């Protein structure tokens, strides 16, 4: 062991060593995020993993979505119904010094604060001195918690903005660690999009199952009354199609 090591710093190692170390840490976070199927769990694995592996004080993910599709907004009775379908950034995961997702900073319009800046330009943002940033001046907790470095990446899938990853540190980001975080963000965007698609398919399938159960129930009741009459136009339409696909008596 040479002198200088054991100080908990990457000093003394070449930038290649530091890069592979970052990669190794983020590989473990990537493994963690791919273990999950539910979007909420994927987001949690990413933010918690970054706090553990990237020496972050706070890691957050805002999804670029409509309030109607956001779990936090859905639970908020005061949410403005007019804003239901308009997309903006919604804080959907937060690990480290703050874990609460609701609150005044839950919804961030494009162009405002740090996440909003990343989303507006769809470009990475690296800041070394958060406390001197005009866009962070309204955020007293940045100074209170001694936060200094900010690394933000847009989460892009097929060129579309899916969200923003923001990672706060109490010290500046080394350029190499920031670059590696960008590789990780590209992987995270795929995992997030994948989980969101799976959830959308599952919701649709669940709805079809319910609709199917309802139709079956309607059919049974109509059979019970002796004839397939169909109380609604929709049911008659479905019955007509069933007749064409599987004529009575074919089974
Ligand atoms: Zn929301």
Measure 99 CA to ligand 1 centroid, in angstroms: 15
Measure 119 CA to ligand 1 centroid, in angstroms: 16
Query: Quick one: pLDDT band at residue 10, thresholds 50, 70, 90?
Result: very low
Give exposure, 158-174, as e/b (b: 16+ Cβ within 10 Å).
eeebbbbbbbbbeebbe
Measure 66 CA to ligand 1 centroid, in angstroms: 7
Measure 107 CA to ligand 1 centroid, in angstroms: 6
> At which residue do the structure tokens 């990457």 appear?
10
Let me know if 194 is exposed, middle or buried by CB neighbors in 10 A (0-12, 13-18, 19+).
Answer: middle
**pLDDT by residue (tens digit) across 185-202?**
999 999 999 999 998 898
Measure 102 CA to ligand 1 centroid, in angstroms: 8
Of residues 34 and 207, more confidently modeled:
207
Query: Quick one: pLDDT band at residue 36, thresholds 50, 70, 90?
Result: confident
How high is the pLDDT of residue 6? 42
Judged by DSSP in three states, 227 sits in coil
Give the residue from 78, 85, 118 showing the smallest Cα distance to 102: 78
Measure 127 CA to ligand 1 centroid, in angstroms: 26
Q: What average pLDDT score do residues 41-67 get?
A: 93
Q: What is the C-alpha separation between 137 and 151, in angstroms, rounded?
A: 17
How high is the pLDDT of residue 7? 42
How high is the pLDDT of residue 248? 54
> What element of type H or E holds 108?
strand 107-108
**pLDDT by residue (tens digit) across 234-246?**
777 777 777 676 6
Measure 167 CA to ligand 1 centroid, in angstroms: 20
**pLDDT by residue (tens digit) across 203-226?**
888 888 888 888 888 777 766 655
Angle at 12 between CA 7 and CA 16, to 5 degrees: 120
Measure 90 CA to ligand 1 centroid, in angstroms: 5
pLDDT above 80: residue 229: no
Measure 63 CA to ligand 1 centroid, in angstroms: 9
pLDDT above 50: residue 79: yes
Q: What is the C-alpha separation between 160 and 22, in angstroms, rounded?
A: 27
Measure 245 CA to ligand 1 centroid, in angstroms: 44
Q: What average pLDDT score do residues 128-138 get?
A: 88
Give the residue from 150, 148, 142, 143 showing the smallest Cα distance to 126: 150
- Cβ–Cβ < 8 Å for 72, 101: yes
Average pLDDT of the chain, as a whole number: 83
Neighbours of 225 (CB within 10 A): 9
**Sign of the CA dihedral running 185, 191, 197, 199:** negative
Measure 170 CA to ligand 1 centroid, in angstroms: 28
């Amino acid at each position: 062991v040479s002198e200088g090591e054991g100080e908990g710093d990457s000093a003394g190692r070449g930038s290649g060593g530091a890069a592979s170390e970052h990669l190794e840490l983020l590989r473990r976070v990537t493994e963690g995020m791919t273990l999950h199927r539910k979007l909420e769990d994927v987001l949690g694995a990413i933010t918690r993993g970054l706090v553990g592996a990237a020496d972050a004080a706070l890691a957050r993910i805002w999804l670029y979505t409509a309030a109607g599709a956001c779990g936090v907004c859905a639970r908020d009775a005061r949410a403005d119904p007019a804003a239901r379908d308009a997309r903006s950034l919604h804080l959907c995961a937060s690990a480290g010094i703050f874990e609460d997702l609701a609150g005044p900073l839950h919804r961030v319009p494009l162009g405002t604060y740090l996440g909003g800046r990343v989303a507006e330009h769809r470009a990475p943002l690296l800041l070394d001195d958060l406390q001197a940033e005009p866009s962070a001046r309204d955020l007293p907790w940045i100074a209170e918690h001694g936060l200094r470095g900010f690394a933000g990446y847009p989460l892009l899938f097929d060129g579309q903005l899916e969200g923003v990853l923001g990672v706060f540190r109490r010290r500046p980001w080394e350029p190499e660690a920031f670059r590696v975080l960008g590789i990780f963000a590209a992987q995270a965007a795929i995992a997030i999009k994948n989980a969101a698609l799976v959830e959308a398919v599952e919701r649709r399938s669940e709805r079809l199952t319910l609709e199917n159960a309802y139709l079956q129930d309607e059919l049974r009741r109509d059979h019970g009354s002796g004839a397939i009459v169909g109380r609604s136009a929709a049911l008659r339409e479905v019955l007509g199609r069933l007749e064409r696909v599987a004529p009575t008596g074919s089974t």
